[in-house]
Amino acid sequence: MGALWIAHVKVTDEESYMKYAKLAGVAIADHGGQFVARGGRYVQLEGNDRPRNVVAKFPTLEDAVACYNSPAYQEALSFAKGASERDLMVVETSD
């Protein structure tokens, strides 16, 4: 089964966050991830509003978690910490 990596983000430091986004995109691709949505228009219907929403599809849940734990992604994440407020989850798809 595939998996979706879903991030809800409020960027507080645009310059640092763009460094994160560049490096994270490479790490995600290296683990078989493909972006489905990346900061596009959205409608907040319930819960906390975070103006940047990102969804990436991975071959498996394990691939998505391995990406998160990889040295390349952790390097990218060092730019996001302190530059954003984030919620991140991985959910297995039903396909």
Domain ranges, residue 24: 3-92
DSSP 38: E
Contact 59, 36 (CB under 8 A): no
Question: What confidence category does residue 95 fall into, taking pLDDT thresholds of 50, 70 and 90?
Answer: confident
Instruction: Give the CATH number, domain containing residue 30.
Output: 3.30.70.100
Q: Is the pLDDT assigned to residue 87 strictly greater than 90?
A: yes
Count of structural domains, the chain: 1
User: What's the mean per-residue pLDDT of the chain?
Assistant: 96
Residue 24, pLDDT above cutoff 90: yes
- Identify which of 42, 39, 41 has the alpha carbon closest to the alpha carbon of residue 21: 39
Provide the whole-model pTM. 0.91
Span 63-72, mean pLDDT? 98
**In the structure, what pLDDT confidence band is assigned to residue 14 with cuts at 50, 70 and 90?**
very high
Tell which residue, 54, 78, 64, 67, has the closest CA to residue 26: 67
**Position 68: which residue type?**
Y
